[in-house]
A and B are shown apart, each in its own frame.
Chain A
Amino acid sequence: MKITFPHMGNMDIVLKALLSELGHEVITPPPITKKTLSLGVQYSPEFACLPLKVNIGNFIEAVEKGADTVIMAGGIGPCRFGYYNQVQREILKDMGVQLNMVVLEPPDQHIGELLKRLRLITGSNSWWKLIKAIRFSYEKCLALDAIEKEASRLRCRELQRGDVDKVYRQGRKAIDQARSVKEVRKKQEEYIQAMQALPLDWHKKVVKIGMVGEIYTLLEPTASGYMEKHLGYLGAEVDRSLYLSEWVNEHLFKGLLSVKGHKETRKLAKPYLSCVVGGHGQESIGGAIEYAHKGFDGVIQVGPLTCMPEIVAQSIMPLIEKDYGLPVLTIYTDEQTGEAGLITRLEAFIDMLERKKLAIRQIDI
């Protein structure tokens, strides 16, 4: 069995660690490039959203490298992502691509259910070994999130364009190669320190932007047109309302660990949106309110074009803007999104926040 999976930010390293620990041969799909996207677009229905198209591209490229089995997350609730694995299975079948699909649905009750589903790929490994593998890969997940977070915080302060990303990429590699929990933690520390030791302008006045929205566009940089990087280059400190480790803990481990979850976030959204609309609609609203509480200058909501939960959230954002005095910019992306137009809008948004700050400062004087 040669297992592959779709890309989503740093998830490749985490899944590779998990599966190799269990003794599987892992084939990581090539990085998402224009080629991946055009393969995906060619074989997917036009009105499907970007994540599905990129997934298909990943699968095709992984099969070219010899993969025969793919693991894919499923979903529950009104968002169509829940049945994407079925659609994808059919598309691949029509193309004549041989690929087994193992779908991991989030457990309804508790972690035992997930373990049972994982059994399909755990084979003859003991429970003990399985738990150890999960722990090890989750440790990598935490470390990757930590260095990514730091990169988004510091990018706007680098004196030499590209420095932070260079260290971030090296850190990603080092964590990928780490062989023990202890080593993973050490690498995390090491690379965060290396980032902080770069020539940075700590006095620079920056605007703080929180990103909320749909999980795939938040986690996978190519799906948002490298938005975090561009925002950093334009002088904004960026934080995201969602990181992989949080999602895994909340949805797969059912909040077993003491990682920050989104229960509070959803509670904040209640007065505006009291029911589940699928995807991360509620979290987008709640996340924006959280950023307002934390004193952020603005929020950017991202999602793939036609993403229903985000459209619902978007229609509520004007209320949040008004009630909390917090500017929100919504951006949908698809394969037609041009980077130049995206940058123009991001720059205009940052300008707006900076000038607003300046105006307030002048009134203070």
Chain B
Amino acid sequence: MDTAKDALFLGVDVGSVSTNLVLVDKEGQVHEALYLRTQGRPLETVLKGMKKLAELYQNDQIQGVGTTGSARNLAAIVVGADVIKNEITAHAVAASTLVPGVRTILEIGGQDSKLIIMKDGVVTDFSMNTVCAAGTGSFLDQQASRLQIPIEDFGKLAVDAKHPVRIAGRCSVFAESDMIHKQQMGHSLEDIIGGLCEALVRNFLNNLGKGKKIEPPIVFQGGVAANIGMCKAFEKELGHVVKVPKYHKVMGAVGAALLASEAVVQRGGNSNFKGFTVAEQPFRAHSWECSDCPNLCEIIELKESESILARWGDRCGKWTNSLPAFSEVSKSVEVEATTPS
């Protein structure tokens, strides 16, 4: 396929752990997927990704752009997004496009986890966990490195477990000390890791699954879906096959790209895309604490050379409203993000 001529949509998902950029065509086929570590520097990471894409694609191939993830607003201003969406909608759209008929989406990322229930391609219920570390990718990473096992082998070991031990998985602190205890008692590494996966799955379903009917087809996505031990543990607990889509790591970005294609069609074909050259622009983001009142808001400011592009984070609107140019930009983006599609 001659990629240079295809019309593509860019999706950018900026999370706290990873930043993903994808290029997707109208049918939802993924042409390019970049997976980068955010490392606390969302702006730099997005620009790095754009630079990589600039080497392979032309600006006029990009028909629309969407952003999602916790830094979606920042990313939107940098790339010129047509749509800004929350992670839940983005994941749901991607899953239902790539796996038609999906009823349940399990998603475990680096910092949070989600459970989404769908019917006829529409989300009917969801829950999201942002405070509990037990059952997120970061916790698995941490345990893998504590046991000095490369995270890639972690899942395979779990599958080899003969008699997975029962680990207290309710809280990451207890899970860790329980694992150490079971190690000392002489259980095999496989059984302990197998037990950990089962504990995390139980924890996920207890936290997020309450009152929700989990029905097949079930899709498992997010970084942790690569872990075959976790997949097997879900299958055992739910009694159904769990599908892991090929691009499970970047589903949020795929969803953002698909949503952008919808938005652009509705708008009559124009995109706000600023072009890959943004990678060369001297963007700078910095933040400070406003001390004008006891709220002490954390104000974030985005600059391009010397002109201020955006500010946010203020409760009272003092800083955002002091930017006439920005309120126009942000309005057009925000309105786009909230009108019924």
Contact = CB atoms under 8 A, between A and B. Distances in A.
Interface residues of A, number: 38
A352 B124 contact: yes
A355 B123 contact: yes
A35 B294 contact: yes
Contacts of A327: 124-125
A359 B92 CA distance: 15
A357 interface: yes
B341 A358 contact: yes
B130 A341 contact: yes
A160 B321 CA distance: 11
A351 B121 contact: no
* Most chain B CB neighbours (cut-off 10 Å) among A30, A160, A344, A347: A344
A59 to B, nearest CB: 16
Contacts of B124: 327, 352, 356
Given A33-B295, A35-B296, A317-B211, A348 B122 contact: no
B306 interface: no
Interface in A334-363: 336, 338, 340-341, 343-345, 347-352, 354-359
A341 B112 CA distance: 10
Contacts of A233: 334, 338
Nearest to A236: B338
A358 B294 contact: no
A356 B341 CA distance: 11
Contacts of B121: 359
Interface in A198-222: 204-205, 207
B293 interface: yes
Contact of A352 (B123, B293, B317, B331): B123
Contact of A33 (B85, B211, B212, B293): B293
Contacts of A347: 85-86, 89, 337-338
Contacts of B130: 338, 341
B122 A235 contact: no
Given A327-B125, A351-B85, A234 B70 contact: no
Contacts, number: 89
Interface residues of B, number: 33
Contacts of A36: 294
A107 interface: no
B210 to A, nearest CB: 8
A345 B341 contact: no
B139 interface: no
Contact of A235 (B70, B86, B327, B339): B339
Contact of B294 (A33, A162, A349): A33
Contacts of A343: 86
A134 to B, nearest CB: 33
Contacts of A340: 70
Interface string B85-129: 111110000000000000000000000000000001111111010
Given A30-B294, A36-B294, A336-B131, A351 B86 contact: yes
Contact of B295 (A34, A160, A204, A207): A34
Nearest to B72: A344
A261 interface: no
Contacts of A82: none
A348 B340 contact: no
B296 A34 contact: yes
Interface string B130-166: 1100000000000000000000000000000000000
A318 interface: yes
Contacts of B89: 347-348, 351-352, 355
24 contacts: A33-B295, A34-B296, A35-B294, A35-B296, A161-B334, A205-B340, A207-B340, A233-B338, A338-B130, A341-B128, A341-B130, A343-B86, A344-B70, A344-B88, A344-B128, A348-B86, A351-B85, A351-B123, A352-B122, A352-B123, A352-B126, A355-B122, A357-B340, A358-B340
Given A33-B295, A354-B340, 5 more contacts: A234-B338, A235-B340, A341-B128, A345-B128, A348-B126
Interface of A: 30, 33-36, 160-162, 204-205, 207, 233-235, 315, 317-318, 321, 327, 336, 338, 340-341, 343-345, 347-352, 354-359
Q: 8 closest A-B pairs (Cβ-Cβ)?
A: A35-B294, A348-B88, A318-B211, A33-B294, A235-B338, A354-B340, A347-B86, A352-B123
